[in-house]
Each structure stands twice: as C-alpha cells, then as structure tokens.
Structure 1
Amino acid sequence: MTKFELNILGCGSATSSLMHLPSCQVLNVRDNLYMIDCGEGAQLEMRRMKLKFSRLNHIFISHLHGDHCFGLPGLLSTLALLGKTGSITIHIFQDGAVQFQGLLNFFCRNMPYELKWHIITPHKAVIYEDDAFTVTAFPLRHRIPAVGFRFDEKPKLRHIVADQVKRYGVPLYFMNSLRQGRDYVTPAGEVIPNAALTTPADPCISYAYCSDTAYSKRVVNAVRGVDWLYHESTYGDDCARQAKQRFHSTARVAATVAQEAGVRHLILGHYSKRYTDDTVLLQQAREVFPATILSTEGMTIDLNQV
C-alpha cells in the first residue's frame, strides 16, 4: 500500500477555543505533503505532529474566511526562515492571492523559494494533477465563493509474483509491462496470462473535503462514491435554523450528504465553540450514517483502511 494519510491540524470553526483550532489538514501522499486550508496554529500543529515542512509544496484554500487562511502568512514566513528551496503553490481565489501577496511583499521580502499562485474559481474543475492523483475543486454553498476539494488516486500497477516470473523466465525489461496488465509471450510463442504472473493492484483511494457549506445537491454529486468524506458539522439539531441562515451544516445534514452520495466513511469537523462535548454531534450523525467518526487535532487517519 502506498502512503495516503490524513492529518487533522485544526477542526474548529470561526474562532479558536481550548478544544479546537481553526481549519487545517495535511494529506500525506507518498511522503509528499498537501495542506488543505491554513487556519491559525497550522505551523505549530505541524511541529507537534512531526510533519516535515520541507515536504510541503501545495496549499489548497477553500475560501477567504479568516479561520481558513489566517495561518498562511505566518507559515510562508516560517518556510522562508527555514530556508525552504524549490517552490510552493497556493491554490486560492484571485482576491486572496492579491491580498496575501501584498502582505508578503511587506513582511517577507527575498524568500528563498518560488511562491506560485494558482487561481481557482467557484466552478468544478481539475486544479492539480501529478502521477499519483488528481485534485478537483467543486462549488460549495456558502455566504461567499467557496469550493470543496476531491482527491482521487490514479489507477495503480499490478503486483508481480516473483516465483512465477522466475518460473517462466520473464526478462527484466518486461516487468513494467506486466504491472500494466500485459500477458507475457515466451520465446517459444506460449502466452502466459497476466493473472498467472501478477496479483491485482491496490485499490484507488478517494477523499473529499467540504467546509463550509449548507446542503447542496451539487455537493452530493461532487463527492459521490468517495471512500472518505470530511464534511463540516458546525452545529447540532438544536441550531438547525442558525445553520441554514449562516449557510453551514448540522451533523445530521453532513450525514445526509454522506448517505445520499454513497460514501464509505464520514469525518465530522468544523465544530462550533458552543459545544463542549462533540459526541452529541457524532450521535446525531450516526442516526443517519453509522460509519461516522469525529475529527480532532493530532489525529492521523490511514485512508487506505477502507
């Protein structure tokens, strides 16, 4: 299995509390780090969780509310002080790029790494792709333009069965073709089925991040079938009316999205500071979607465990 881990750095809502920090996550894919939102406290939590700053090259900002991006200038400054080289790309709305660049021009001149701004729009689109996965941004339903992010692993290669390969004398140069699923033809013309020489590839994992948003059929369709869904659950049933007014979700709404989208696992987060016991949110969500867990700072989830 290739490494595909989700690290929770912050899962609170608008303000920090003694229980939770503002939104921030880090995906670890094959020891490359991808940050999702960057609330205050992000860099401190990275140190606590022993996540290597040098491995961070992409940051995805869902929208321009402070609890999702106020940690960005401090983190970028720290990366400069640490002597980071290469580049780092911030995927963000145009207004955010303008405002943060102005701030960095004043406080962080002569950075040792290249800072790139990749402008996203509140429309569904693939915004990043490499050999391992694709990242799709899709519109959320919030008070200001906001997007969720969906991470989909690309198809993986099959596993070679060493003793079978040796038995049939498969040459070294053909190994990659085997992993891609091709049959092997011996010098004598005998066709050896690929299934006799390899075992199936590991499953492709998918993860979606939805914060902040009210219920939306577009969101349901965007996250359909993912293995893991992080969905904001700012409020409980007691604040359903307030959630609707503020374009947020209750835990029950998050569970409804998970159920309708046919996801495997739901992760709750973005809790209002009014709750001193998050298990009430968990209980309400599990009444609709049993495969639900609570996020908390310092948690690492192995997304391969589906």
Structure 2
Amino acid sequence: MKLTVLGCYAATPRTLTNPTSQLFEIKNQMFLIDCGEGTQVQLRKHKIKFSRINHIFISHLHGDHLYGLIGLISTFTLLNRVNDLHVYGPKGIKEIILLQLKASASYTSYNLYFHELESKESELIYEDDHVTVRTIPLAHRIYTNGYLFREKNSQRKINIDEVKKYDIDVCYYQKIKNGGDVVLEDGTVVDNKLLTFNPEPEKSYAFCSDTVFNPGMVPLIKNVDVLYHESTFLESEAHLAERTMHSTAIQAATIAKEAEVKHLVLGHYSTRYASIDAFKEEAEAIFPNVLLADDGISFDF
C-alpha cells in the first residue's frame, strides 16, 4: 500500500507548493484522489504512467481540489488514451467538465464515465475483486466526501509443508486458497484449516479533506491503517478553522486518537505558514504516530 502526495497545500498553487492531489496504490491498482492545478505536471515529474489511472475520486468542487481535472482529461486524449476513465465526485462535476469540453470543441478518444454523488450517508461507490471504496461524509462549506479504501484479502495462505505431507496436487491450490477442503483418493477429507494460514489483515486508507472538526466520522474510519486528515491551521488560528470550516492539527490528531488509527498523515496546510514542522509538534501532543505530507513525498505502508 503506497501513497504518493502530489500536492497537499490549501487554496492557491505557488512556485514550490501544489494544491491537493494524491496517488494511492493498492493491490497493483492506482487511484487518483483530487486533482488540483498542476496534478499532471506532478504525475510527469514523478514518472507515473498516465495509462494506469482509470479511477479519479474528487472530494468536492472547490478549485484547489478540481481545477486540474479538465487539463488531465484533455491530455489523456492527446496521448491517444483508449481505456475507460471513471470520475467520482459531487453532483455537478459532470456538467462542469462537459461544458468545458463542449466550449473548446474537445472530445475524448475514450469512454468517460461520471459517478455523481449526493448522499449524506456513507455509501459503497466502487468494488472489484481486490478493493472497495466507500464515501466518508464530511462537514465543509459545500457538499464534500472523503474516501475509504479497503483491501479485500479473502484468500488464505497455503501451508506448503502440510500440503506436501498430504501429497496434494497443485491443481487444488486455488481451491485451498479460497477456503475449500480437499478430498484425498482414499476418501479422507482434509480440513482447510490444516492446509492454510489466515490471510494477512486487510489494509485500509481513509482520505479526509476538507472538513471542520467532525467526530461523527470516527465510526466510519475506526482502526484504519492510515488516516489522511486535513490540518489547514495551527491552534493559534483555530478561530479561522471554525469560520472557514477547516481543521487544526490538534483536531486532526484528536480524530485519529478517537478512531484508533495506526498512522495519521497531516496535510492541506495553509500557505500562511513558513514551515510545516509545527503541525507535527502540535499533533503529536495528542497522537503519537504522525507523518507530514509534503509535495512529492511517498509513504509505503
């Protein structure tokens, strides 16, 4: 499970900082989360293959999370993309993108699908054989969702010593991984638990930006491996966090502590601060396992 931070600063892009965008990799799949200005430049800078991005998740329709999307969609066409592209985001995102494509007489060379969201309750919006994605309703100035990515790890691990002891043919291995028992030639039934180990724990990642301090999300992200939570302000500007419906580093750490997550990644810093080190210091007073996002940094979990 790998997280590459393409941009993690609030509001406006600057010479050395970019607005929100992340690339999340799990089970050999890539998911793009938010798409602020400069996202495709960051993708090139970090040598990420555009063709591997088939699903894009947009948290809300503020510019620092969206304005890079039309550029990326257009570039996909210039690169002769053929794979389908799925975009998940608040209702209105389809109208925004299609209006820009229509006005510029630009048409995609690939199928472009929009999955518009309106529910204020958590819902399953994506599922395949390896991963599920659910929304995390957030509390911001406009309709906003976070996203919970959870690995599906239903296959058991083969205990090769036991399998060899019973002289079981390799053709039964997939059945064993799927939890099936094996019937030997003499009719003996070998219980699956004798032939396998429990699967690895399912990894999970919760992306939460932007939101005011919102304890209501805690049950949805309980015990996740990694929580990315916005921390736009330090505690000295808590009054601004409340007014703009953002969070402080201490509030993000409080959510992480209450949800009993393993790791907290902070981001979405206001550009008013000369250094982001103080965000980690404030958060660690509440929650010990704090990581600072920064443009271009990758985390392997």
TM class, shorter-chain normalised?
Answer: over 0.9
> 1:99-119: per-residue Cα shift (whole Å, max 9, x none)?
111101233623211111111
Q: What secondary structure is seen at the aligned counterpart in 2 of 1:25?
A: strand
Number of the residue aligned with 1:92:
89
> 1:122-179: per-residue Cα shift (whole Å, max 9, x none)?
4211111111111111210101111111011113312223343233121333212211
Deviation of the 1:67 alpha carbon: 0.0
How far apart, CA to CA, are the structure 2 residues paired with 1:194 and 1:222? 33
Among 49, 71, 75, the alignment partner of 1:74 is: 71
Asked if the contact 1:37–1:68 (Cα under 8 Å) also holds between the matched residues in 2, the reply is: yes
How far apart, CA to CA, are the structure 1 residues paired with 2:17 and 2:287? 24
Sequence identity percentage = 40
Asked if the contact 1:77–1:108 (Cα under 8 Å) also holds between the matched residues in 2, the reply is: no
Deviation of the 1:51 alpha carbon: 1.1
Among 288, 291, 299, the alignment partner of 1:290 is: 288
Deviation of the 1:278 alpha carbon: 0.5
Deviation of the 1:245 alpha carbon: 0.7
Number of the residue aligned with 1:143:
141
Number of the residue aligned with 2:260:
262
Count of residues paired in the alignment: 300
Number of the residue aligned with 1:187:
185
Number of the residue aligned with 2:132:
134
Q: What secondary structure is seen at the aligned counterpart in 2 of 1:38?
A: coil
Number of the residue aligned with 2:24:
27
Asked if the contact 2:86–2:112 (Cα under 8 Å) also holds between the matched residues in 1, the reply is: yes
How far apart, CA to CA, are the structure 1 residues paired with 2:27 and 2:48? 13
Runs of at least 4 residues off by over 4 Å: none
For structure 2, the residue ranges without an aligned partner over 5 or more in a row are none
Among 47, 52, 57, the alignment partner of 2:49 is: 52
Match for 1:203: what amino acid?
P
Asked if the contact 2:126–2:132 (Cα under 8 Å) also holds between the matched residues in 1, the reply is: yes
Q: 1:1-306 alignment to 2 at 5 Å?
A: 4-107=1-104, 109-123=106-120, 124-303=122-301
Deviation of the 1:93 alpha carbon: 1.6
Query: What is the aligned-residue RMSD (CA, Å)?
Result: 1.5
How far apart, CA to CA, are the structure 2 residues paired with 1:233 and 1:117? 29
How far apart, CA to CA, are the structure 2 residues paired with 1:108 and 1:127? 31
Match for 1:167: what amino acid?
K
Task: Call closer, same or farther: CA 1:301–1:156 in 2, change over 3 Å.
Answer: farther
How far apart, CA to CA, are the structure 1 residues paired with 2:171 and 2:105? 50
Match for 1:27: what amino acid?
F
Deviation of the 1:34 alpha carbon: 0.8
Asked if the contact 2:27–2:151 (Cα under 8 Å) also holds between the matched residues in 1, the reply is: no
